[in-house]
């Protein structure tokens, strides 16, 4: 994020970023930390957590905790460790930002099951926002195609990459920094009157239902 002026919107805040040892999640954790948050990163593998913490610790305040989100005990441990280690830095007010995908709007036939899970996340945003209001806001970021390891089947194929870029109004793929900036906005007080919404960050790619 060199050359980018970073605000300090999260001083006194604690940010838990799941699946955050690489790709979009890693850059979101870095962005929130650079804006002043005490960041807790997590992933299923200790090795990945340790490597991510090592990369971030010289720049931000970061704690790494292994957590498989389908494991109830590990979810509890993630929260307990956050309160134990970062709790004293916490201030009032909270928000949740879910990361989905534009595939949730129009699931490609080749990614049917993936699309179904992302469509479910879009619906979950509305449900959680209603359940957790008024004390907690819940919003969703729906990224377009971003050159990460997950999307390598697109980004490493020149013809396919150009086809995907051509579907966007901006004629480019997104970046992890684009997604981190959108997430930071929704999590911040700048979005204090926004909840239950999905922000599509896809360069103008047709996406809405």
Asked if the structure places residue 207 within a domain, the reply is: yes
> What are the pLDDT digits (tens) for 104-153?
565 555 555 565 666 777 788 999 999 999 999 999 999 988 988 877 77
Mean pLDDT of the chain: 87
Domain end among 74, 92, 110: 92
CATH of the domain at 201: 3.40.50.720
Provide the annotated active-site residues. 114
Do 15 and 24 touch, CB atoms closer than 8 A?
Answer: no
Confidence (pLDDT) at 114:
61
Token pair 């650079």 is found at 34
Each residue of 26-73: pLDDT tens digit?
999 999 999 999 999 999 999 999 999 999 999 999 999 999 988 999
What confidence category does residue 103 fall into, taking pLDDT thresholds of 50, 70 and 90?
A: low
pLDDT tens, residue by residue, 145-175: 898 887 777 778 888 889 989 999 999 999 9
Is position 178 within any domain?
yes
What DSSP assignment string belongs to 154-201? HHT-HHHHHHHHHTSSSSS---HHHHHHHHHHHHSGGGTT--S-EEEE
Whether 178 shows a pLDDT value over 90: the answer reads yes
- Check residue 116 and give its pLDDT: 62
The residue out of 68, 92, 116 marking a domain boundary is 92
**Any domain includes 11:** yes
- Tally the domains of the chain: 2
Last residue of a domain, one of 92, 120, 153: 92
Q: Measured between alpha carbons, how far apart are the two ends of the chain, in Å?
A: 33
What is the per-residue pLDDT for 63?
96
Distance CA 173, CA 144 (A): 7
Rounded to an integer, the average pLDDT of 70-81 is 92
> For position 119, what pLDDT does the model report?
72
- Domain match, 73 and 104 both: no
Both tokens of 45, joined, read 């593998």
Q: Are residues 129 and 72 in the same domain?
A: no
- If you average pLDDT over residues 86-100, what whole number do you get? 72
- pLDDT of 150 reads 74
If asked whether residues 71 and 138 sit together in one domain, one would say: no
Print the domain residue range for 120. 94-209
- Determine, yes or no, domain membership for 1: no
The model carries a pTM of: 0.89
């Amino acid at each position: 994020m060199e050359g980018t002026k970073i605000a300090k919107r999260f001083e006194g805040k604690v940010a838990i970023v799941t699946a955050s040892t690489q790709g979009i999640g890693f850059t979101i954790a870095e962005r929130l930390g650079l804006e002043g948050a005490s960041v807790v990163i997590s992933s299923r593998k200790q090795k990945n957590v340790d490597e991510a913490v090592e990369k971030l610790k010289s720049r931000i305040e970061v704690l790494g905790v292994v957590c498989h989100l389908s494991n109830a005990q590990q979810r509890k441990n993630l929260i307990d460790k956050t309160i134990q280690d970062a709790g004293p830095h916490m201030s009032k007010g909270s928000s949740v930002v879910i990361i989905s995908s534009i595939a949730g709007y129009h699931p490609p036939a080749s990614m049917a099951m993936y699309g179904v899970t992302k469509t479910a996340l879009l619906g979950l945003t509305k449900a959680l926002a209603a359940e957790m209001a008024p004390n907690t806001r819940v919003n969703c970021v729906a990224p377009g195609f971003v050159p990460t390891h997950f999307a390598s089947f697109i980004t490493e194929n020149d013809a396919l990459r150009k086809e995907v870029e051509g579907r966007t109004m901006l004629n480019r793929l997104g970046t992890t920094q684009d997604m981190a900036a959108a997430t930071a906005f929704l999590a911040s007080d700048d979005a204090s009157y926004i909840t239950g919404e999905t922000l599509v960050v896809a360069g103008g790619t047709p996406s809405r239902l």
